[in-house]
Structure 1
């Protein structure tokens, strides 16, 4: 059986004192450290969640801005295309008008030169005819003389006639 003696009592008292000392100097600080660690981990989780929420917000803003930028770039491209098309049409129209003016000027110049050439030719033919008439009157009228004057007239005007 169990014997209760002073040794057992001192052992129980020693164990109680040891327990109280361990509780005060060992278990208490370890529990405090564990509590601090638990709070630190909880705070880090809260911070991580806050950062994640901020990142999600920024991602949403970025996607919205990107979508707006895409729409804006599509609009800018469409505007640039319409401006380029209008510029091309205007340039083509101006080129066509300029070409028409140049053609009209060329036609007018050609017509004027033709008129000048015709006037000059008529004047020269009239002078030649007058000269032929003078020679005809000065030499008298004969068939050979007339033929010779006709051939000379044709030679001077640049036209030849092959006679039999």
Structure 2
């Protein structure tokens, strides 16, 4: 088996040109898409955090309102103990149920948004994998000459999932 320097250099140049084309046509757009997706996800997370903070503020307002209701119920107890006790229990229970429901709804919304973001990321990765595979398959490949590159590509696609 002899090695011809001209053939090796030609193959190296062709390989470098091919890698430059792949970097130009595939890597740049993929990185741009991933950056856009990252910004979208960060925005969704920020909105979810803002929603949680708003829910927390509303909960604090409800607690303040609940304290006010308790003070009013105490005044009513002084005026008419039997009637005020029944009314105070009803008001406290309604406020507690209302705040519990609001907390539950906020947590469900946060969980749902998180699940949507994760599902969207998974879909995006799958689409990008299919796009990369289609780009690779458009070129004619001799399995004997490019066995190592094919194995690396398969390994990379497997690691992304």
TM-score, L = length of structure 2: 0.45
